[in-house]
Chains A and B, each alone.
Chain A
């Protein structure tokens, strides 16, 4: 999808190809799948070693660490992540509902902003802003 999409963008035909736009939209979970499965493969595949062939996982565990401590830290991370992730998804969803804005307000040069954005001032962002 990425390669074909790149080709179409170079040929300036991307926004006319309905099939490709749908394919791009529907492939949004693919990076998550790729990262997570890759991670699982690496973590599960190297067991029972922490450093392959050198250090066993059983020997790598902190001696002083107790189960309640581990549970507490995991629980904290789950809570923090659940909070941040759910609100993050919600705010992104609301951004999508609003849709792309033609001109970003206040994005004029010299308005106390970092210089990097000044070049884009006044140009419609609808092309890049589409979901």
Chain B
């Protein structure tokens, strides 16, 4: 049962990163065009799905709360301020979808909320992962680092890296979803974003080597784990080919595969810990009775239902968006 809930948690986190990743990425790229028709089409490309994508964040939090309450308590205490500001950023970018069409004079305000909210939310998510990789000051399951104990150059670097990564996902999504000048523009942005993401990965790698992060030992002990980075490399090759040959449907799946590889890399780096090097998955799990109880409701009904409607909405809104349409 612990394994099942760990799997459910991993699935929610992965789907959240992939799905909300691209719409947050489109939010970041939104800043790089002033052209109103292009902006409208960028919004139209994500408007049917963005709020559904954020369901996976809710599900992640709910799974942590129910099945891994120790991790929930520790992480949300440690990241109190970042999580509050993450929520604020998501609220502001969410209303921007609706409010920007209600006004002409103040549209800049909501566009600012959209870009700022998307960027801040992405940065905070990346920073959180960075801080986890580096290790939090914990003792006996209690966080001892103070309000900004997670703040470090490495965490900020990871925040920036995730902004690049989500922008890459966003551009790849736009290439598959749009036509004309917006598609061309996204194709021109892709090589820069690819270069940026790989530069970031290289810096992280050398930083980890230089600082002797504990995570690195795991890789030296078990070289067969390199299958995940290898998968990422293959996906990256596919992505480059897709961009070169202008195959619209190739960039997004390959970018998603890169993210999957990165996620797998992190997961096997952490395993069996949930909060690296202090709380293992087994220690973090709620009592068996809670896990069993949750299985019959959340596990058997809610999770498949969300999966089903997520699949349905992507099926309904598949294909390219046409013309300059208003959202609604």
Contact = CB atoms under 8 A, between A and B. Distances in A.
B147 A80 contact: no
Contacts of B99: 87-88, 91
Given A64-B142, A68-B147, A69-B147, A80 B92 contact: yes
A82 interface: no
Interface stretch (A10-18, A31-39, A48-56, A71-79): A71-79
B84 A73 contact: yes
B309 interface: no
B51 interface: no
A96 interface: no
A76 B88 CA distance: 7
Interface residues of A, number: 21
Contacts of A114: 316
A76 B80 contact: no
A68 B80 CA distance: 12
B270 interface: no
A80 B91 contact: yes
Contact of B142 (A63, A66, A112): A63
A12 B73 CA distance: 55
Interface of A: 62-66, 68-69, 72-73, 76-77, 80, 83-84, 87-88, 91, 94, 106, 112, 114
Contact size range, B: 20 to 34
B147 A76 contact: no
A83 to B, nearest CB: 8
B95 interface: yes
Contacts, number: 49
Nearest to A77: B88
Interface of B: 73, 77-78, 80-81, 84-85, 88, 91-92, 95, 99, 102-103, 142-147, 316, 322, 325-326
A1 B301 CA distance: 38
A62 B77 contact: yes
Closest 7 pairs between A and B when the two form their complex, measured CB to CB: A73-B84, A91-B102, A62-B77, A64-B143, A64-B77, A69-B147, A76-B88
B105 to A, nearest CB: 12
Contacts of B91: 80, 84
Contact of B80 (A65, A77, A83, A94): A65
Nearest to B92: A80
A68 B163 CA distance: 28
B142 A80 contact: no
A15 B70 CA distance: 57
B78 A64 contact: yes
